[in-house]
Amino acid sequence: MIIMPLVVNFALSYLHSEIYGDVMLESVSNVLSVAIDILSSLTYILTIGLLINSLLRNSNIAVILYLISTALIYGLGLIVTGLTSSGMLPGHFLYIIPSVVADILVLFAVIFICKRKFSLKKCILLSVSVIFAVGFINNLIETIILFTNYGFPSNASEFLFITEPYIGLIIYSFVGYFTIFLLSNLLKKSKA
């Protein structure tokens, strides 16, 4: 929960921002971008999984670690932006505010769900549903902005561009559910 943000949101992001735009390193930049996206998603899902398991064991340590992890993720992102393109720092700061608020809302929702004494499966399902709902609302807002600025899709390529985030969110939710469930079983076996 603490190490991965340092690796992903500082080291890899800093390296990516340093080589981004270099024609000679374009393929490396693309690979790093995909790696950052995958590792960021995995870090978030594992953090939620640890949070759920901690709350179900009546421990609040994961809440503190979640808050530290969230602060690191966004704080390190701001540091990388400040180091690589300081002129974009105010815009980047404004850009991350909705994401920070969404992450805090997810935290409160997961705490509320897990304190209701649901089973592990139901707690995971409801928590992933909250993450899905937040992602869906975010995608919907972006879609409305795109429709407002550019109109409705006029061909298959534009339609795919609009639907891709929703398809990705569905896949992310399924993978997230099974990843958290697997993590929970591994943690249960390690405690036994």
At 10 the pLDDT is 62
pTM of the model: 0.81
- The pLDDT of residue 188: 82
- CA–CA separation, 141 vs 158, rounded Å? 17
Tens-place pLDDT, residues 54-108: 888 888 888 888 888 888 878 877 777 777 777 877 887 787 888 888 888 999 9
**H/E element, 75:** helix 61-84
Share of the chain above pLDDT 70, in %: 88
| Both tokens assigned to 137 | 């609302």
Strand, helix or coil for residue 135: helix
pLDDT of residue 41: 82
